[in-house]
Amino acid sequence: MRPSFHPRLINDPFNDPGLFIPFLFQKRAVVFDLGNIHGLPAKDILKISHAFVTHTHMDHFIGFDHLLRIMLGREKILSLFGPPGFLKNVEGKLSGYTWNLADKYNYPLCLQITEVQQDFTLSRNYRCQDRFEALQDPVRQPFDGILYEEPAFSISAVILDHQIPCLGLAVKERFHVNIIKEGLQCLDLAPGPWLSEFKQALYDETDPAAKFEVGMPGRPDKKRFELGNLAGQIARITPGQKITYITDVVYSESNREKITEFARDSDLLFIEAVFMDKDRELARDKGHLTARQAGELAARSGAKQFKIFHFSPRYTDQENLLYQEALEAYKNFP
C-alpha cells in the first residue's frame, strides 16, 4: 500500500512536538500541534489548511505566530482546532498585535477557530479585513468525536487528561485506493496528479458510468475512460490508513482506556515518551508518559507501528535508552 498521508515530526524528539501530514500528490497538509515550526519551509507551511492543537502549553502553541506571519496577506481560510478555552487563547494571541493596516491587504486571510468541549464545539471566524475582531458570536455544534470530515478522510479527537484537558488526535482515510502498476502499464498510463483526481472521484462516490479523462504531460490528446471501468483495471480498495497522535497525557486508568480505544488498530501511532520508567514519579507529577508506558499503550491499542517523541532534555545523548525501553514494553506486552 502506498500511503496517502506522509506524516513527519517537525522537530527532533528533544524539541517541540508537532506532526506535519502532507497529502500525496496534493499541495495540501494538516498539522497536529504548533510548537516551534521554524523547521518547516514556508512552502510547506503554506500547504496547511487545518491545524489541530492538543493544548496550549507554549511548546505546543508558540508556532501559531509564525504560521500566521507566513499566511498573512494570502487569500486563504485557515482552520484551527483546540481544547476548551481555545477561542480565548487565540483571541489573546490576536490581540497582542496591532492590525491597523490589516484591512489594506489585497488577499485577506480568514481564521476559522474551533474549540472542542466534551460534547460540543464552539466555532468563530476572524477575518483579516476586520482586524481579526470576531463579528459574530461563537456557533455551537454537537461533537461526537469527529472534528472534521471530507469524503476521503476524517479527523477525530478525544479529550484526555494532562492535569488540563488535552486532545488526542487521529486522521483516518475512509478507504485506501491502491493503484496497480501493471494495470497502468496495460493502459499505457503514467502516474501523475490525475491519480489524486481519480481517487477523489472514488471517494466522492461518482457514478461509475461517468466519463473520466486522463491527460499526461507531452501528450496533447486525453484518454477517456468510464470511471468504474478504469477503477476495475487500475485500482484495488483496502481499509484506510489510520495515524494517531497522543501527547502530554498522564498515565491514569481513564487515559489508558480512552487512548487504547481511540488509537485502536492505528497503522502508525505517534506517542510521547517524555521520561524513562525509572523517573515515573516525575512523569506522573508533570502529567506525562514514560517510554515504557508509551510502548505498552502502543501494544494495547494494537498499533502496527509506533514512534516516540517529546523527550526530556535530561536524557540528551541517551535517546537509545528511551527507544529501547519503549520497544521492549511493546514486544513483551502480554
Residue whose CB is less far from Zn ion, 134 or 164: 164
Contact 308, 298 (CB under 8 A): no
What span, in angstroms and rounded, lies between the C-alpha atoms of 300 and 191? 38
Q: Would you say 1 and 176 are in contact if contact means Cβ atoms under 8 Å apart? A: yes
Q: Cβ of residue 55: shortest distance to Zn ion, in angstroms? A: 6
Q: Smaller CB distance to Zn ion: residue 53 or 122? A: 53
Amino acid occupying residue 35: G
Pairing outcome for strands 153-161 and 165-173: antiparallel
CB 279, min distance to Zn ion, A: 16
- Residue 172 is a binding residue for Zn ion (CB under 5 A): no
| Sign of torsion over alpha carbons 237, 223, 209, 205 | positive
188's CB contacts (< 8 A; 6+ apart) are none
* Size, binding site for Zn ion by CB under 5 A: 3
Query: Does residue number 44 form part of the binding site for Zn ion (CB under 5 A)?
Result: no
Quick one: CA torsion of 50, 148, 203, 30, rounded to 10 degrees? 20
59 binds Zn ion (CB under 5 A): yes
Give CA angle at 118 (117, 123), nearest 5°.
Answer: 25
Q: How far is CA 323 from the centre of its chain?
A: 23
Q: Which stretch binds Zn ion (CB under 5 A): 53-61, 97-105, 128-136, 314-322?
A: 53-61
Give the footprint of Zn ion on residues 113-152 (CB under 5 A).
none
Q: Which of 57, 176, 258, 300 binds Zn ion (CB under 5 A)?
A: 57
Q: State the minimum distance, in angstroms, from the CB of residue 17 to Zn ion.
A: 6
Q: Which residue is nearest to Zn ion (CB)?
A: 57
What is the longest distance spanned by two Cα atoms in the chain? 67
Closest approach, Cβ 258 to Zn ion, in A, equals 17
Segment contacting Zn ion by CB under 5 A, of 59-67, 69-77, 139-147, 181-189: 59-67
Stretch touching Zn ion by CB under 5 A, among 5-13, 50-58, 256-264, 319-327: 50-58
Helices (H), 159-226: 181-186, 194-203
Strand 109-116 with 153-161, pairing: unpaired
Lookup: cell for 21 = 501530514
Least distance from C-beta 45 to Zn ion, angstroms? 21
Q: How far is the CB of 5 from Zn ion (least distance, A)?
A: 23
Quote the DSSP letter at residue 44.
H
Q: Least separation, in Å, of the C-beta of 58 and Zn ion?
A: 9
Which of 44, 115, 173, 248 is in the footprint of Zn ion by CB under 5 A?
A: 248
Give the position of cell 502553541. 61
Of 173 and 248, which CB lies nearer to Zn ion in the complex structure?
248
Q: Nearer to Zn ion by C-beta: 57 or 176?
A: 57
Contacts to Zn ion by CB under 5 A: 57, 59, 248
